[in-house]
Amino acid sequence: MQFVKFMTSNAGRAVRVMLGLIIMSVGLFVVQGTVGTVMSIVGLVPLSGGVFDFCLIGFALGYPLKGVEARKKLAGK
């Protein structure tokens, strides 16, 4: 629960954006080729999750997909 609470917070969103950018950069500039392209596409998941405020990890653990709703549910516990 603490992990989901962090990931849905503003700091967690920032971490997901940075992680997505790092994965994409490594894929594009270090790995390159097909594997690099796949890494760049995979990096879009945490990047978009942070930007658009949704958390797939929380959703997989039974919390709402939208960050606002997940924070409300976590605050209620």
54 beta partners: 66
Cβ contacts of 28-31, under 8 Å, gap ≥ 24: none
Radius of gyration of the chain (CA): 14
pLDDT value of residue 46: 96
For 55, the 3-state DSSP assignment is: coil
Size of the chain in residues? 77
Domain boundaries, the chain: 2-76
Hey, how many other C-beta atoms are within 10 angstroms of the C-beta on 47?
Answer: 19
pLDDT digits (tens, 9 = 90+) for 41-77: 999 999 999 999 999 999 999 999 999 999 999 998 6
Hey, how many other C-beta atoms are within 10 angstroms of the C-beta on 4?
Answer: 21
Total-model pTM: 0.86
pLDDT value of residue 24: 97
